Chain A
């Protein structure tokens, strides 16, 4: 089953963040809650975490690209 990886709603809804790193590669496994990526505004770093135990299937938003809060940036299978 596929599970979306989303930018967490911790910044305000209008905030745009930049993906600064993916901490896992496509195909690697992660436990629920484990850090998958870091996103940043000018002064805030947000951690994007695994929604389930599973495998990182695909990355939609690459390092350096921007995304909005609640946007799906990747997908995991679990």
Chain B
């Protein structure tokens, strides 16, 4: 059993047990195509409520408008395009608090952020990170695609090309950020960066591997089934409006 220091809000044990039981049914929040900043503001708000045990485990799904994000160990030196070129292409650059270096996000890429308590799933952060890779490998196998992990290069690889990434952050034992999967993503902007800080790293997508467009709705359904099994939790659909109501009534 992985043990963690009690969270700072002094959640009573009895409350924690009660929430843990309720937590068997978590939330599945699909934000659809969203600006990164507003989607992340929502994630931070839910995270605060998670830390206070006011909401159960929550999985946030989103696609973003085109942007590069630079993680905590990243550097702008891995952007190969000029500021003018990025402006012309409408690609924003943001420094964010996940682990990792630079990557590209855009429509057609599914970003999944499970907000879980590591103590509840009995994993440490490294184990959890690798479990997210397993989730991607399982998901892709349902499409008949065999992928693998690569030593020293986190993420999921099809032949030599990266098809999915992982990068997490942990606060008081609660996880945020998560994984990304290139479904129907336009891969051209990856040529403007050294993805994950690696020069000329090949990237691919489900669309490219299968040779046809893939239903994002179908991908989400399959992911829902896999996450339910992997984390032994059911996740029910919740809208942001409904969840906001929960947060407001809980005072967060």
Contact = CB atoms under 8 A, between A and B. Distances in A.
A45 B118 contact: no
Contact of A49 (B8, B72, B168): B8
A10 B97 contact: no
Contacts of A35: 171
B99 A41 contact: yes
Nearest to A39: B72
Contact of A12 (B71, B100, B127, B154): B127
Contacts of B9: 33
Interface residues of B, number: 29
Nearest to B101: A42
From DSSP, what is the main secondary structure of chain A's interface residues?
Answer: loop
A18 B71 CA distance: 13
A47 B51 CA distance: 13
Nearest to A6: B5
Given A38-B72, A40-B73, A47 B169 contact: yes
B4 interface: yes
Interface in A17-46: 18, 20-21, 32-35, 38, 40-46
A11 B171 contact: no
Given A10-B125, A15-B126, A20-B72, A45 B8 contact: no
Interface in B1-41: 3-5, 7-9
The 5 closest A-B pairs by CB, nearest first: A33-B8, A45-B169, A47-B171, A43-B99, A40-B72
